[in-house]
């Protein structure tokens, strides 16, 4: 059994070799594709330098304007917030309508 592999031995007594289960995990962890994906996802700026967009967002979301965090994103956040409430109430109303239909009928 390998050090960095999960163990199914108590559950699979007599089933066979567990090396076949762990082999794909080891191969994926050491694959060149994984290393390439990690390098591609790395930030393009120098380490320690904050991108200007992040500075702008930080100022916007940390401003002391007595708004809750879920509304600091602007008008689209406000629309999504209200739409969420409307859909919740419609869902609850539909559920009550359904159950009353079953109870009364």
Do residues 68 and 77 make contact, with C-beta atoms less than 8 angstroms apart?
no
For residues 51 and 76, give the distance between their C-alpha atoms in angstroms, rounded to a whole number.
Answer: 23
3-state SS, the chain, equals CCCCCCCCCCCCCCCCCCHHHHHHHHHHHCCHHHHHHHHHHCCCCCCCCCCHHHHHHHHHHHCCCCCCHHHCCCHHHHHHHHHHHHHHHHHHHHHHHHHHHHHHC
Global confidence as pTM: 0.47
pLDDT tens digits along 25-83: 555 566 666 666 666 666 665 677 889 999 999 999 898 888 888 888 889 999 999 99
More confident call, 59 vs 8: 59
The first and second tokens of residue 105, run together, are: 């009928």
Residue 10 has pLDDT above 90, yes or no: no
pLDDT at site 81: 93
Average pLDDT in the 4-26 region?
Answer: 56
Residue 2 has pLDDT above 70, yes or no: no
pLDDT at site 55: 92
Residue 3 has pLDDT above 70, yes or no: no
């Amino acid at each position: 059994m390998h050090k960095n592999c999960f163990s199914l031995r108590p559950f699979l007594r007599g089933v066979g070799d567990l090396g076949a289960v762990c082999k794909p995990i080891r191969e994926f962890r050491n694959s060149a594709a994984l290393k390439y994906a990690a390098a591609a996802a790395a930030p393009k700026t120098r380490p320690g330098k904050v991108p200007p967009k992040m500075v702008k967002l930080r100022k916007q979301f940390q401003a002391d304007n007595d708004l809750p965090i879920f509304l600091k994103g602007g008008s689209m956040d406000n629309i999504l917030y209200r739409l969420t409430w409307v859909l919740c109430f419609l869902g609850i109303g539909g559920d009550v309508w359904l159950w009353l239909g079953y109870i009364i009928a």
